[in-house]
Chains A and B, each alone.
Chain A
Amino acid sequence: MSTTDIAPDTVANATLTESSVTTREPGATAALAMWITSSDSKVIGRTFVGASFLALVACAVLGVLLGLERVDGSDTLLDASAIPQMFAAFRIGLVWGVMIPFLLGVAIAIVPLQVGARSLAFPRLALAGFWAWFAGLVLVVISLAANGGPGGGDADFVDLFLAAHGLLVCGLAAAAVSVATTVLATRAPGLRMSRVPFFAWSAMIASIGLLLVLPVVLGVLIYLYVDHHNARALFGGNVGIGSWIGFALTQPATYLFAVPAVGLTAELVPVTFRKRMPLRVAVYTGISLVGIAALSAVTQQADHDLPWSGSGLSVDDFGNKFDDMLPYALFTLVPILGVVMVMFLGAVAARPASDAEAWVRPRITAAFVFAFFGLGMLLVGMLGGALVPITDLGLQGTVFEEGVVVYVAYGTALAGLGAVAYWSPKWTGKLIPDKPLFGLATLGMVATVLAALPYYVAGFADQPAASGVYDYDGPSGLWNTLVTIGHALMAVVVLAFIGLWLRSSRSSGDDAGDDPWGGQTLEWLTTSPAPTDNFLEVPTVMSPEPVLDLLGAEHADRGRSAR
């Protein structure tokens, strides 16, 4: 028998008619308890996304502080002993606090709707995952603030950092099990894997990738904790932590965490250009190729030195260079190929295939613009990431690497904001006004470029990473000032987005309607906001675009009636 975990209130609602129940608003405590313990995937997903919003704002503020510290290169603004912890908090926050949970939260909320499931698989596991992740993240922040973390001077708080890190990793893994199982095992009848929506596919790839990577991180953390707590003999004590867990916090491992951003863009292209997506298998392949980045993490290879002598490959040393080139190509270039494939296929889909199609005007939405900019930033980050392993460029250990991480993380966050804007009707029943969102999307793109691109330049000038002290020729103050402005701008964008979302969700204005965008997938067949159990009746699916199938049937029916 299939064990479907459905909230008890769902069953109760299903058996009671509206007229037979006197509805009463729950008190504040009861409402809080319902929210904390809810097994409704939309609520769990929204909680993940809300917490990630806060983490994103916190990271942007940290970015501002670290940028200010580096404006004049003299390390005078902040307490010198706190700077390593702040750099660690910035990196950990971007990856564990924003990239993974943001898109995982969107997936938890939306994937069950997309696959026609009444509920997320193991919703209570996902809920437990959220609280484990959240508690772990809070404890990580506390330990970093109390001189714990990589290089931290307080041994107890270093231990706390490692234990809390393990807790948040377990939480994310639990949520990933829920998402992957939902796609694999709860699809509506007829929704074969070859018909799964692109976002759901990408969420599955990312979740399976996370389940490959996170346990490896956990294993390292167990060793680090036991070693640091006792002998401090083999792993470098507090100083060694960064190098042992760094593989999960840098490229190319971070590309895996951005896979849902690629799936989101692929999802929005056919909706925007109002047609069915051609070559779906190639799109699935492109998304999956980005997930190859998981291999770089499970092999714990943060980077691969690529000797670049400029003399070309000779027969004698071909074998040696092939050894270097193969992991480089697999981990760094293949994910880029995946993104390029999705972009290319999106462009193919956008081009009118016939004169008749040329009359169909695309509907460019703010959600699409967010996702498009996000994917663009991600690609720029990945291209930068491809340069880092080339040792002759001397970029390792410079701020160039930080620029890559910021490009990838902020690009993913931009796509996440697009996802929230797109699926907001299913969460709140309301649309976020498009016009201000266009401005925010543009501002978000500018913020990302400002926060990351100057460090591409400063990296070539050898500005060291994770340090406020540097000395090089060139307008160093300008680069660091621009980065500071970029992070500040990103904080403003996120806060403005949160404000708009909250205002629209509480407004008494018109409801969004069930399908405001002309969507093609199953979630647009249910009401906005989606009910607790998603669908009154589980639909049968006959193609990857069930909504278009219905519209086609409706038009054909109208034609017959007219005749």
Chain B
Amino acid sequence: MYALPAAAAPPPRRQVLVGTALASMATIMLVGGMLAIWILQRERARDAGGTWLPEGTTIPEVPANVMLIGVWSLCVFAQWAVYSARRADRAHTALALGIVGLMTLALINAQAYVYAQMELPIADGGYAGMFYAITGTMVALFVVGLVFSAISAFRFLGGRIADREIIAANALYWYVLATVFSAVWLIVYVAK
């Protein structure tokens, strides 16, 4: 049989970016599904004549608002990393990714502060469980983002300067996470 002509080296198809986009889609579905159930249970509780938020429970809104501002600010730094990586500027890329990591730790710390201020036992009724489940999922997603940023930084600083795709993928993930957190902030922290 004849052989097909050998092709030139395949052009880069952005596997990491495509994979991250798919994973981001899954993230949206995960949190979106959880928020849908949150709204459903809240409506059921209110329709039954009960209260949704346990009496005496106050959600500290200031740290929640700071988290919202923080997560969108973090996207700016993730985009700065993309900008610097395109110019092969290792110092600024490292600085930007470092700030991304630092701000992620700050977000996790803010979430822990919210938990500490609320003093709501997880076994204290249905609301508490759902609150910890959805906010805990967000923390887990932040940790995934932190690991992703760290891997991107190590690869870039390790000498793979041409590997800009992973930096862009990292930024994409943070944009999605910021959007998802905005929905959580609105439904869980504002509308409660």
Binding site for B on A (CB under 8 A): 1-4, 121-122, 125, 173, 177, 180-181, 184-190, 208, 211-216, 218-220, 222-223, 225-227, 230-231, 233-235, 298, 300, 514-515, 525, 537-541, 546, 549-551, 553-554, 557
Contact A219 B7 (CB under 8 A): no
Cβ-neighbour of B164 out of A1, A184, A540 (below 8 A): A1
Return chain B residues, CB-CB under 8 Å to A300: 33, 36
Query: Which interface residue of A212, A214, A219, A234 has the most chain B CB atoms within 10 A?
Result: A219
User: What is the bound-complex CA distance between A557 and B3, given in angstroms?
Assistant: 13
Cβ-neighbour of A539 out of B1, B4, B130 (below 8 A): B4
Return chain A residues, CB-CB under 8 Å to B129: 223, 226-227, 230-231, 233-234
User: What is the bound-complex CA distance between A173 and B7, given in angstroms?
Assistant: 32
User: What is the bound-complex CA distance between A557 and B2, given in angstroms?
Assistant: 10
Q: A2-B12, A121-B18, A549-B4 are in contact. List 9 more A-B contacts (CB 8 A).
A: A122-B15, A184-B13, A186-B15, A218-B30, A227-B129, A227-B130, A233-B129, A525-B4, A554-B2
Query: Which interface residue of B16, B128, B163 has the most chain A CB atoms within 10 A?
Result: B16
Cβ-neighbour of B25 out of A212, A551, A553 (below 8 A): A212
Between-chain CB contacts (< 8 Å), 19 pairs: A1-B165, A2-B12, A2-B165, A3-B166, A173-B26, A177-B26, A186-B10, A186-B15, A215-B33, A219-B31, A222-B133, A222-B136, A226-B133, A230-B128, A231-B128, A525-B3, A538-B7, A538-B9, A546-B4
Given the interface pairs A231-B123, A233-B126, the reply to whether A219 lies near B12 with Cβ below 8 Å is: no
Return chain B residues, CB-CB under 8 Å to A231: 122-126, 128-129
User: What is the bound-complex CA distance between A223 and B31, given in angstroms?
Assistant: 11
Given the interface pairs A122-B15, A226-B130, A233-B126, the reply to whether A188 lies near B22 with Cβ below 8 Å is: no
Residue of A nearest to B28 (CB): A215
User: What is the bound-complex CA distance between A215 and B141, given in angstroms?
Assistant: 13
Query: Which interface residue of A4, A208, A230 has the most chain B CB atoms within 10 A?
Result: A230
What is the distance, in angstroms, from B40's C-beta to the closest C-beta of chain A? 9
User: What is the bound-complex CA distance between A216 and B26, given in angstroms?
Assistant: 8
Cβ-neighbour of B4 out of A211, A213, A550 (below 8 A): A550
Return chain B residues, CB-CB under 8 Å to A188: 7, 10
Contact B19 A181 (CB under 8 A): yes
Residue of B nearest to A3 (CB): B16
User: What is the bound-complex CA distance between A537 and B5, given in angstroms?
Assistant: 9
Complex interface residues of chain B between 22 and 53 (CB less than 8 A to chain A) = 22-23, 25-27, 29-34, 36-37, 41
Cβ-neighbour of A223 out of B13, B26, B34 (below 8 A): B34
What is the distance, in angstroms, from B51's C-beta to the closest C-beta of chain A? 13
Return chain B residues, CB-CB under 8 Å to A225: 133
Given the interface pairs A214-B26, A233-B129, A234-B41, the reply to whether A554 lies near B1 with Cβ below 8 Å is: yes
Return chain A residues, CB-CB under 8 Å to B26: 173, 177, 211-212, 214-215
Cβ-neighbour of B7 out of A181, A189, A554 (below 8 A): A189
User: What is the bound-complex CA distance between A549 and B2, given in angstroms?
Assistant: 10
Contact A219 B4 (CB under 8 A): no
Contact B137 A219 (CB under 8 A): yes
Q: Taking the complex as formed, is B91 at the interface, i.e. its CB lies under 8 A from any CB of chain A?
A: no
Given the interface pairs A3-B166, A215-B33, A223-B34, the reply to whether A181 lies near B18 with Cβ below 8 Å is: yes
